[in-house]
Amino acid sequence: MTTPGHLRPTAAPAPRWAVRAAHVTALLTLPSGIWRLLLAAGFLAGYTEAGYVAAGLPGWGRVYVVALSVASEVLALLALGLVRSWGEVLPPRVPLVGGRRVPPRAVTAVAGAGAVALTCLWTPFLLWWTLPHPDMTTRGATIAGFLYLPLVAWGPLLAAITVAYRRRHR
């Protein structure tokens, strides 16, 4: 079965380094997401009893951390669209818009803005170990710091993948 011409990607394939970077980007949120899911399941995961309660995790905080984990992973997976054909033409199975071309300028603008936002959001996290964490145990703060540290690379990797996408679609 062949794909109709209007559904075929038009750009050259993504460079191997960009494909690898997109896959790494999709995995960056897993460590912190798993940690948050443990919090939602009732594990203290490095918090003191008082810190766990103060963070609001026994109540609606559980819904929040699960939603945050899912949303983070979905957003990270979107980086794969910058190196796959569905970043150029939406799959036909997508309701209402399936089979339509994705405007490269819009993709580049959104991904670029996302890269800037993620860089601004996560770069200050490098100071994690210099700040006090009174609601966490010493070991818990260290472990949480290492689980969140990969997120510092999310913005720069997304920026690099976005530049590769833009170069392919000029």
pLDDT of the chain, 170 residues: tens digit per residue: 455 555 555 668 889 999 999 999 999 999 999 999 999 998 888 888 888 888 888 878 889 999 999 999 999 999 999 999 888 888 888 888 888 888 999 999 999 999 999 999 999 999 998 999 999 999 999 999 999 999 999 999 999 999 999 999 88
CA atoms within 13 A on the CB side of 69: 19
pTM for this entry: 0.87
Encoded tokens for 46: 């490095």
